[in-house]
Amino acid sequence: MVLLKRLSNLDSNLQISNLNLKDLITAVFKNDKKVRFKTYGHSMSPFIKDGDIVTLKPYSAHSLIKPGDIAAVNRGNKKIIVHRITRIDGEKILLKGDNCIEFDGHFIKENIMGIITNIERNGKKLRSSRVTNLIIACLSGSGLLTSHILPFLRHMKSKKEAFARHV
Amino acid sequence: MDGNVYKNKIYKKSENIIARTIENELILVPVSADIADLDASLFSLNQTGIEIWNRLDGKRVLNEIVQEFDENFDAHKDVIMKDVCGIIQELLKHGIIEKVE
């Protein structure tokens, strides 16, 4: 009889839902530890892609957060959302996915569960700087990121791939 | 690390494990270097495993736990011993529990 089961994939063996992930993260944060997990979805692409692994550190009222930071926020409907802080308005943050047209809206800082400290892709840590994150936040907040910059980058990428196929 | 199971020894939960009940299973999250890695190494215990886990209080020797199961559950003592020793060995192997010296 199998009493102990190793879970190799967070959402396959137990079909752990977003609620359960939030539950696990909460349990880890209560012990004041960081948590590392795989992300799913495209709302933060290309900065966080589907399958990237992120490390999250717990947020507290004493934590310093800045526009550009990527936060895991308790959305209140049993979901967590991992998007970028584009602006801080007093006790509220304005959140938006880098690949999203619409803002998620304002959330009070109390709803922040944690802040991303690390993004890994294919076993490598992605480099980022505070300045880069701030620039992305500004471009995202203005709408330029989704309206012009990302489409341009995707266009250039497909051109490059087409060229590589013909070489 | 000694992977053998001793019936006259006491076992306790590792301090580097975070446990949380989700959907009637106990999820065990090992923590290493201050990071709980949900991607690499998660474990779950079913109901029987949870009953054993709850008794690993660092005070009772393994034989006492088996005795308790024998008194409270309808199963042959040999089967209970085998299950308990089996789970203890697995938990030891993955560093989830430790032997109290």
User: Which positions in chain B touch A36 (Cβ < 8 Å)?
Assistant: 35-40
What percentage of chain B has pLDDT greater than the value 70? 97
Contact between residue A38 and residue B39 where contact means Cβ atoms under 8 Å apart: yes
Determine the pLDDT at residue A40. Answer: 86
Contact between residue B58 and residue A55 where contact means Cβ atoms under 8 Å apart: no
Which of B16, B24, B27, B46 has the highest number of chain A CBs within 10 A, making it the mutation to test binding with A? B27
Selecting from B42, B48, B86 the residue whose C-beta is nearest the C-beta of A10 gives B42
Q: Does the beta carbon of B41 lie under 8 angstroms from any beta carbon of chain A?
A: yes
| Neighbouring C-beta atoms of residue A125, cutoff 10 Å | 11
Q: Given a cut of 90, is residue A133 above it in pLDDT?
A: yes
Paired sense of beta strands B35-37 and A34-38, if any: parallel
Report chain A residues touching chain B, CB-CB < 8 A: 1-7, 10, 13-14, 16, 20-21, 23-24, 27-28, 31, 33-38, 53, 55
Q: Is the dihedral of CA A11, A14, A17, A19 positive or negative?
A: negative
Confidence (pTM): 0.81
User: Which positions in chain A touch B83 (Cβ < 8 Å)?
Assistant: 1, 3
pLDDT tens digit string along B7-27?
A: 889 999 998 899 988 877 888
